[in-house]
Amino acid sequence: MVYLTHIFKYKDKPIGVFEKVKINSFMGDYDYSKLAEIIRENPEMTEGFRFFLADVMERKIKRTKRSDNFVRDMQIHEYISDLLEKNKKLKLTTDNTGKETAGSKAAAKFMIGEEVAVRAYSKMKKALENAYEEMIQREIKEGKKTTK
């Protein structure tokens, strides 16, 4: 499994997207099996995730009253992306015509405002595009190293 790094950080150390999902999931219910799952799936963890695991084991991690919305935002991004792919005429946001949009459908599904849904979608779209670009650049750079 490939982990995209440098999108998120833990103590100024890079962590991958999927590691971030597991961290947020763990912080929601303190289910240690979610952390064990990522260790089993990928022995090549990022430095940030190793630091997070060490802090969990040393009980330095305190349960937060409210976790960030990363998982929700990823779900919104996936939902809106699917809607836009299935219906090419559907728009992301309204142009004040009163027509249903992908943003309004996501807002209804996730019980949030349309603006919040569109912001979440846009934020995750940009983060994933940046991660993809970074991965391509890293592969190009590594490819140049192996050809010398």
Question: How much is the pTM?
Answer: 0.55
Pairing of strands 8-10, 13-15: antiparallel
102-123 pLDDT tens trace: 999 999 988 888 999 999 999 8
Give residues with Cβ within 8 angstroms of 89, minimum separation 6. none
Select from 53, 29, 30, 27 the least CA-distant residue to 42.
Answer: 53
Q: How many CB atoms lie within 10 A of CB 3?
A: 20
Instruction: Check residue 5 and give its pLDDT.
Output: 46
pLDDT band at 12 (very low <50, low <70, confident <90, very high): confident
Q: Where are the alpha helices (DSSP H) in 6-113?
A: 17-29, 32-41, 47-57, 70-86, 102-110
- In this structure, is the dihedral angle defined by the CA atoms of residues 80, 110, 7 and 15, taken in order, positive or negative? negative
As a whole number, mean pLDDT of residues 93-105 equals 82
Amino acid identity of residue 115, one-letter, is: E
